[in-house]
A and B are shown apart, each in its own frame.
Chain A
Amino acid sequence: MTSPILELDGVSTDIAQYHILHDISLTVPEGGVHVLLGRNGAGKTTTLRTIMGLWQARAGVIRFRGDDIAALHTSDIARKGIAFVPENMGIFGGLTVEENMRLATHDGSFDRDRLARIYALFPALETFWTKSAWSLSGGQKQMLAIARAIIEKRDLILIDEPTKGLAPAIILSMVDAFREIARETTILLVEQNFLFAKSLGQTVAVIDDGRIAHTGTMAELVEDTALQTRLLSLSLDAHQ
């Protein structure tokens, strides 16, 4: 296994008076797609938001390439090379597709080759380049959110439930796009859709009630139906 790009060690997060994350420890190896699975309310989104500094960890250490980032401001974390695609996609509807993308570049200019690769991954973005992001469909907005995260080279992309509410055909195209993206960057993917997750993930962590319930390779989890049932309270068959 490659060296970790991200490590969470004993991370606990509170939101107001509620204790959401309890002593979370998690290692994300460099390269590929790594999945954080869990049911609704298990703490998946809170984990990503805590990594991004959008919620402050009460305790614990978050290391990115060996540096503790737990106390850093969100913008400083982003500038270290971590991109975030939130569950609501975080699209600026009042801006055009181009402006949304331009905002994610460090100096406001595009690398033409990179942009061409993004157009190849998500052709709809080229079509709607000058249109307001409000006019995009749900799937196109998700494409824009992901494209924005890769408009410049990032070391790690945190993606929160990208398949939520999307049609199966769009989810299939997302699988191809994620495989392509994972060739140059590491993806930490939060998902509930096990079929999607298993088609991409190399490692998996299952979170339940704010605690890590399991970590291992995705192949192990896919092969062990009993483990799936115990961890996810549903079998792979039920999803198929």
Chain B
Amino acid sequence: MNSITSAFERYGGINLLPVLLALIAFLLIGSPSTWVTLTVAGLAMGMMIFLMASGLSLVFGLMDVLNFGHSAFISFGAFIAASVLAALTAWVAADSVILNLLALLLAIAAAALFGLIAGWAFEKVIIKPVYRDHLRQILITMGALIVAEQIILAIWGGSPISVPRPHFLSGSLIIGDVSIELYRLFAFVLGLIAYVSLYVILNRTRVGLLVRAGVENREMVEALGFRIDRLFVGVFVLGSALAAIGGAMWAGYETLITAAIGSEMMIIVFIVIIIGGLGSIEGSLLGAIMVGLMGNYVAFLAPKMALASNMILMMAILLWRPYGLRPAVK
């Protein structure tokens, strides 16, 4: 048993878990083309969930704040992006990659801008008065989520809204028997860019160093002369913007959205940050990819188990590692 464990650690340790999951799925699925399609779909889904989860994980880790209102940014990001894309229908449907890309980038930028501004206001009005009080954090952020959903219903109505996909992302890439949706590839690349950017900021800049230290011991960071509360505002605003971008991408993935999109995703987002370990970007990525792959494989192999699969995954991982796969604080 020890030799298996040491070999596992030598070849990548817990980073190998998604690979192991994919290999097991390959044996169960049998068809290579179906497996590739499901794997790409899982990776794309994982990257979008990562966008939504990474900010919340840092907020949790840095200030011990339970923000159930995080999903409001996902919802608003989705609806704002949908509205921008609807307003730019001519660009979205045009047979021009540049116009398509412009429309998509404008939609994502509008969602991100909303996340930045609303995140700042949310932190000042909702979060700041309830620092260090978990019960009130849960109550007030849940309340804010309900209010946000009602605002969405008031603005966009209760009927599902169709989200147009840019023309250049509406097709599929065909390689032999394998068909890969271009939108999924785009979502994967965008998520990867977000992860690399966050990784560089956290590991190569002084602000990142402060965030990593603050996640471990915010009191000591203050004793070294830094205002952790100001840093937290920055992280909160960035996390809200990432959630809104994730929501925008998710809207294009689903193509039909309702006001409940945020609260539906919130369960998955919480599962991801619990699996990954609080305060860790690497953990969030690992958790998101595991959840994305698991969701797609199980939906194909045992559709009735699809909803329960991620809960079972979370329970299994917590039994093995109670603090998650890669918690920021060991």
**Chain A interface (Cβ < 8 Å from any Cβ of B):** 52, 54, 73-75, 78-79, 83-84, 86, 90, 92-95, 99, 102-104, 106, 108, 134, 148
Contact B223 A73 (CB under 8 A): no
Q: Could you jot down 8 A-B contacts, CB within 8 Å?
A: A74-B219, A75-B222, A75-B227, A93-B216, A94-B329, A95-B212, A99-B209, A148-B224
B213 in contact with A92 (CB, 8 Å) = yes
Contact A54 B223 (CB under 8 A): yes
Asked if B197 CB lies within 8 Å of chain A CBs, one says: no
> Which residues on the B side are within 8 Å of A52 (C-beta)?
223
Chain A residue numbers with a CB within 8 Å of B219 are: 54, 74, 90
Inter-subunit contact B217/A92 (CB<8 Å):
yes
Nearest neighbor of B329 in chain A, beta-carbon distance: A94
A106 near B212 (CB under 8 angstroms)? no
A74 touches B222 (CB 8 A): yes
Q: A103-B210, A108-B206 are in contact. Are A92 and B216 (CB under 8 A)?
A: yes
Interchain CB contact under 8 A, B213 and A103:
yes
Having A75-B225, A92-B212, one finds 9 other A-B pairs with CB under 8 Å, namely A78-B223, A78-B224, A79-B225, A86-B223, A93-B329, A94-B329, A95-B212, A103-B213, A108-B206
**Are B226's CB and A75's CB within 8 A?**
yes
Give the residues from 223 to 264 in chain B that come closer than 8 angstroms, CB to CB, to chain A: 223-228
B59 interfacial contact with A, CB 8 Å: no
What residues on A are CB-neighbors of B329 within 8 Å?
Answer: 93-94
B148 within 8 A of A: no
Nearest-CB distance from B125 to chain A (Å)? 22
* Interface residue ranges of B179-209 to A (CB < 8 Å): 206, 209
Q: Specify the chain B residue showing the minimal Cβ separation from A82.
A: B223
CA–CA, A108 to B223, complex, Å? 16
Q: In the docked arrangement, what's the CA distance between A75 and B279, Å?
A: 22
- Assess A95 versus B330: contact at CB under 8 Å? Given A75-B227, A84-B223, A104-B224: no
- CA A73 to CA B206, docked complex, whole Å: 21
Q: Which residues from chain B contact A93 at a C-beta distance below 8 Å?
A: 216, 329-330
Question: Which listed residue (A54, A94, A104) contacts B330, Cβ 8 A?
Answer: A94
Report Cα–Cα, A95/B210, bound state, in Å: 10
B220 interface hit (Cβ, 8 Å): yes
Q: Which 9 A-B pairs have the closest CB atoms?
A: A90-B220, A78-B225, A74-B222, A84-B223, A79-B225, A92-B213, A92-B216, A75-B222, A108-B206
Which residues from B are CB-within-8-Å of A134?
Answer: 330
A54–B223 Cα distance when bound, in Å, is: 8
Judge whether A73 and B330 touch: CB under 8 Å.
no
B239 to chain A, nearest CB (A): 19
Q: Which A residues touch B212, using CB under 8 A? A: 92, 94-95
Known interface pairs A99-B209, A102-B209, A103-B209; A86-B225 also in contact (CB < 8 Å): no
Decide if B145 is an interface residue (CB 8 Å cutoff): no
**A103 CA to B330 CA in the complex, in Å?**
20
CB distance from B280 to the nearest CB of A (A): 9
Q: How far is the CA of A103 from the CA of B329 in the complex (A)?
A: 17
**B217 touching A73, Cβ below 8 Å:** no
A95 to B220, CA, bound (A): 13
* Centre residue among B213, B216, B220 by max chain A CB count within 10 A: B220
Asked whether B328 is an interface residue with its Cβ less than 8 Å from the other chain, the reply is yes
> A185 to nearest B CB, angstroms?
16
In the assembled complex, the Cα of A54 lies from the Cα of B212 at a distance in Å of 20
Residue of A nearest to B205 (CB): A108
Task: Please determine whether A74 and B223 come into contact, CB atoms closer than 8 angstroms.
Answer: yes
Which of chain B's residues have a CB closer than 8 A to the CB of A78? 222-225
Contact A90 B328 (CB under 8 A): no
In the bound assembly, the distance between CA atoms of A86 and B218 in angstroms comes to 13
Alpha-carbon distance A73/B210, docked complex (angstroms) = 18
**What is the distance, in angstroms, from B105's C-beta to the closest C-beta of chain A?**
34
Among A79, A86, A103, residue most surrounded by chain B Cβ atoms (within 10 Å):
A103
Nearest B residue (CB) for A79: B225
How far, in whole Å, are A83 and B225 apart by their CA atoms in the complex? 9
- Give chain B residues whose Cβ lies under 8 Å from the Cβ of A95: 209, 212-213, 216
